[in-house]
Amino acid sequence: MQIYADENMPLVHEFFSQLGEVTTFDGRKVTAAQLSQADILLVRSVTPVGPMLLADNQQLRFVGTATIGTDHIDQAYLQRQNIAFSAAPGCNAQSVVEYVLSSMWCLAERYQWQLTDKTVGIVGVGNIGGRLARALNALGIPVLLCDPIRAAQEPDFPHTDFTTLCQQADIVSLHTPMQKQGPNATWHLFNDATLASLKPQCALINASRGGVIDNQALLAAQQQHRRPLVLDVWEQEPDILQALLPYCDIATAHIAGHSVEGKARGTEMLYQRCCELLGVTPEIALAALLPRPAVEKLQISANFGLPDVQSVARMLYDVRRDDALLRQHLQQHGFDWLRKSYPARREYSALQLVGQAVPAWLGQLGFNSQI
Ligand SMILES: NC(=O)c1ccc[n+]([C@@H]2O[C@H](COP(=O)([O-])OP(=O)(O)OC[C@H]3O[C@@H](n4cnc5c(N)ncnc54)[C@H](O)[C@@H]3O)[C@@H](O)[C@H]2O)c1
Ligand SMILES: O=C(O)[C@H](O)[C@H](O)COP(=O)(O)O
């Protein structure tokens, strides 16, 4: 079995060597000729998979992407070719939530906001948006949820339509997939008109896909009237619109989902899917492969309260580090180098909170607790 995998897929040898020979490639530069002998192809978000890339291959059985987003995959083509496909839904959802929380705390500090007085509009309430809503709920921060697809399927879903959300939210966080066409298309969901419909000081956070915001329209809007802005994703990555950088409070290199756990879970999910496809019993589990976190336990006293969460969370992840990395290194090393050399970052779950009175709502944020 010939397994070809993106070189930025952690633990791919540990998981997949059981199933065959693993060869790695540069996900931006990989060619059809390189993949002609692949039985299994494992990619990340930087590799568009379709007829062009698979033209020289007659034997491919499975394509997997170790990501949540699937906009780089021509799924209709794979289906026509009878090639099985799987993404890794939810693999790095917690990582993105921690990115957004860290960004909100950073904005709150910079603009001296009380977050419990702000209403957060979440656009796209799936794995990430849903988790974020639960986390904000635990922190006592009001939310508005916009997801027309869920609203059509779930009679009890508390949907706020997009226009109303734009008019009422103080912070808007985007968590939709990238969809170019159809009734729920998200491409340039934020354009000249919709940007203008937001409250003047409404903060905008995009950790979904770059194209959900028209970046040129955003730049023009920011030049006219600057609003708080957090961008993890950009149009035309890796050649991003650098003129936007000075207008961002936080600017990062599409790393919101790059926690150690988030990336490794993506590899594990594809391994499990491949085992299923090949009728093999999985022998490897992620828990045994994850490195020990630098800090494993924290003793919580009965005085631990909401204001203390931010300090504990920041010990694990502070988005300002990644903002500084992009601003410092983008010119010299480029966007992809920043992603490839991303420093290890553990999720909240890596830290055991111990004590007699660990508040239950910390679980809603993703922390592990133990009495
Ligand atoms: N920045 C990163 O590192 C990073 C990491 C992971 C995922 N992502 C992106 O985030 C996206 C969301 O991830 P997820 O796990 O929550 O996906 P998901 O599929 O679980 O949820 C997406 C939700 O968006 C809703 N939706 C679709 N079109 C919509 C529209 N026009 N308006 C409002 N809601 C709409 C869907 O109904 C769904 O509930 C992914 O598709 C991916 O593109 C980015
Ligand atoms: O969709 C996703 O899961 C994320 O955008 C993912 O974290 C992107 O990371 P990449 O695959 O480009 O390393």
Domain limits of the chain? Answer: 2-87, 93-251, 297-370
Best CA proximity match to 330, nearest among 338, 318, 339: 338
Contacts of 165 (CB under 8 A, 6+ apart): 121, 123, 144, 146, 172
Q: Is the CB of 273 under 6 A from ligand 2?
A: no
Which residue's CA is the closest to the ligand 2 atom numbered 9?
45
- For residues 4 and 25, is the Cβ–Cβ distance under 8 A? yes
For ligand 2, the distance from its centroid to the CA atom of residue 108, given in whole angstroms, is 27
Q: What is the distance in A from the centroid of ligand 2 to the CA of 300? A: 34
Q: Is 68 in the pocket of ligand 1 (CB under 6 A)?
A: yes
Spot the catalytic one: 61, 134, 150, 237.
237
Q: Which of 25, 43, 71, 92 to mutate to test the pocket of ligand 2 (most atoms within 8 A of CB)?
A: 92
Which residue, by CA, sits nearest to atom 4 of ligand 2? 67
Known binding residues for NAD(+) are: 147, 176, 207-209, 232, 257
Q: What is the pTM of this model?
A: 0.98
pLDDT of 132: 98
With both helix axes pointing from N to C terminus, report the angle between 260-278 and 93-111 in degrees, rounded to the nearest 10.
Answer: 160
Flag residues of the chain having pLDDT under 70: 371
Homologous superfamily of 93-251: NAD(P)-binding Rossmann-like Domain (3.40.50.720)
Residues 6+ apart with CB under 8 A from 250: 103, 106, 107, 229, 230, 231, 319, 320, 322, 323
Are 2-87 and 297-370 in the same CATH fold? no
Architecture per CATH, 297-370: 2-Layer Sandwich (3.30)
Candidate list 72, 175, 254, 346, residue with the active-site label:
254
Q: Tell how far the Cα of 334 is from the centroid of ligand 2, in angstroms.
A: 17
CB 234 within 8 A of CB 241: yes
Contact at 8 Å (CB) between 123 and 172? Answer: yes
Give the pLDDT of residue 371: 65
Q: How far is the CA of 69 from the centre of ligand 2 (A)?
A: 7
Handedness of CA 186, 187, 191, 193 (dihedral sign): negative
254 is catalytic: yes
Q: Which CATH class is domain 2-87?
A: alpha beta
